[in-house]
């Protein structure tokens, strides 16, 4: 199912309503949003394992990684609200698992299909990324993990980013969300008396969550404007909405990165007069570059499982 959604998304997202029916394209959007939820779920275990491996819970590195994990939980909420807005329900059997216990048949929809997600998992040879992304493992925090894996997950859009064309591969998670947004736009333009996009029950929208004091907030998705707002927030916070060497844009408060730095009191954080939030990529980069030092970590084996401790 996930692999089929990826292929259809690239084919449909950049077309108008000619050819395939709006209902067929809406089904592609449903499948793509299932991939998005699985993607957001997949980042939380490695981030939390790295977080809990740190011995100093008061360190700046601990606070940075914790803030990213909380925002990924917010992204799950936003992606689920996007699904609920078009009357699609999140399917628990599509949630990614670790340690090689993924039921491939359940995830792909039919036996023999290979699963393709933007992130690969340990101990699963069948799991290959649809992006040129890292192989994700559960490990203690280190500068190498930040640079090679976490920064790879949150890779920004290319500096010369352009809209994808038919059949073009995604180079970042940001591009994947761009395709989803464009599909929302196309299908909104196709609405008529016989076809409506936002058919979900508004009572399914969940905004009664608190995800910490960082940037972002739950959004009730009921129309194209609120759908775009939710997608924009996901992209700006984590998946590389703003390319490097881009100046501060007040319309993009969650993803501006180059207004952070070492403050006069020796701490690392937002500079006075600039937005509070730093995108995930550059949060991890600050740790990888040693600007924010990592404390000591507890000893642990990579990819722990019950079998390894038997």
Contact call for residues 115 and 3 (beta carbons, < 8 A): yes
- Residue 119, domain extent: 2-248+279-309
pLDDT of residue 159: 57
pLDDT of residue 83: 92
In this structure, is residue 283 part of a structural domain? yes
230 vs 282: which has the higher pLDDT? 230
- Predicted confidence (pLDDT) at residue 24 exceeds the cutoff of 70: yes
User: pLDDT digit string (tens) for 31-78?
Assistant: 888 888 888 888 888 999 999 999 999 998 998 899 889 889 999 999
Where residue 91 falls among pLDDT bands split at 50, 70, 90? low
The average pLDDT across 135-142 equals 87
126 vs 130: which has the higher pLDDT? 130
pLDDT of residue 256: 46
Residue 234 phi, psi (nearest 5): -60, -45
In this structure, is residue 257 part of a structural domain? no
260 vs 21: which has the higher pLDDT? 21
pLDDT of residue 12: 46
Where residue 123 falls among pLDDT bands split at 50, 70, 90? very low
pLDDT of residue 89: 66
In this structure, is residue 201 part of a structural domain? yes
In this structure, is residue 273 part of a structural domain? no
Q: What angle do CA 65, 38, 74 make, to 5 degrees?
A: 45
Return d(Cα 232, Cα 213) in angstroms, integer: 19
Q: How many domains, in total, are found in the chain?
A: 1
The average pLDDT across 275-292 equals 82
User: pLDDT digit string (tens) for 144-186?
Assistant: 999 988 888 887 766 554 555 545 556 677 778 888 998 999 8
CA contacts within 13 A on the Cβ side of 10: 16
CATH number at residue 183: 1.20.1260.10
Contact call for residues 29 and 188 (beta carbons, < 8 A): no
Mean pLDDT of the chain: 73
271 vs 126: which has the higher pLDDT? 271
Q: Which residues contact 132 (CB under 8 A, 6 or more apart)?
A: 171
pLDDT of residue 39: 82
pLDDT of residue 93: 57
In this structure, is residue 67 part of a structural domain? yes
Contact call for residues 75 and 234 (beta carbons, < 8 A): yes
Q: Which residues contact 151 (CB under 8 A, 6 or more apart)?
A: 281, 284, 285, 288
In this structure, is residue 297 part of a structural domain? yes
Our measurement of the distance from residue 41's CA atom to the centroid of its chain's CA atoms, rounded to an integer in Å, reads: 8
Residue 6 phi, psi (nearest 5): -60, -45
Furthest-apart CA atoms within the chain: distance in Å: 62
In this structure, is residue 256 part of a structural domain? no
In this structure, is residue 193 part of a structural domain? yes
Return d(Cα 253, Cα 239) in angstroms, integer: 14
């Amino acid at each position: 199912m996930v692999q089929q959604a990826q292929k259809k998304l690239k084919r449909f997202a950049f077309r108008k309503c000619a050819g395939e029916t709006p209902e067929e394209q809406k089904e592609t959007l449903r499948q793509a949003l299932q991939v998005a939820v699985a993607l957001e779920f997949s980042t939380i275990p490695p981030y939390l394992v790295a977080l809990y491996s740190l011995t100093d819970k008061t360190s700046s590195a601990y606070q940075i990684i914790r803030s990213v994990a909380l925002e990924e939980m917010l992204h799950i909420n936003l992606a689920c609200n996007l699904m609920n807005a078009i009357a699609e329900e999140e399917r628990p059997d599509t949630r990614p698992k670790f340690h090689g216990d993924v039921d491939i048949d359940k995830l792909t929809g039919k036996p023999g299909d290979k699963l393709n997600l933007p992130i690969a998992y340990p101990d699963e040879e069948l799991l290959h990324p649809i992006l040129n992304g890292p192989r994700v493992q559960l490990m203690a925090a280190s500068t190498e993990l930040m640079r090679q894996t976490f920064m790879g997950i949150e890779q920004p859009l290319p500096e010369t980013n352009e809209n994808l064309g038919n059949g073009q591969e995604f180079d970042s998670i940001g591009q994947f969300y761009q395709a989803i947004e464009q599909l929302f736009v196309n299908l909104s333009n196709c609405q008529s008396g016989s076809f409506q996009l936002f058919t979900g029950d508004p009572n399914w929208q969940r905004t009664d969550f608190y995800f910490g004091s960082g940037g972002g907030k739950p959004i009730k998705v009921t129309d194209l404007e609120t759908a775009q707002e939710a997608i924009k927030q996901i992209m700006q916070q984590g998946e590389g909405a703003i390319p490097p060497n881009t100046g501060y844009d007040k319309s993009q408060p969650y993803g501006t990165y180059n207004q952070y730095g070492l403050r006069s009191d020796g701490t690392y954080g937002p500079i006075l007069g600039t937005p509070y939030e730093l995108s995930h990529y550059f949060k991890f980069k600050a740790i990888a570059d040693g600007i924010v030092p990592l404390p000591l970590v507890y000893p642990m084996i990579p990819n722990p499982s019950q079998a390894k401790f038997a």
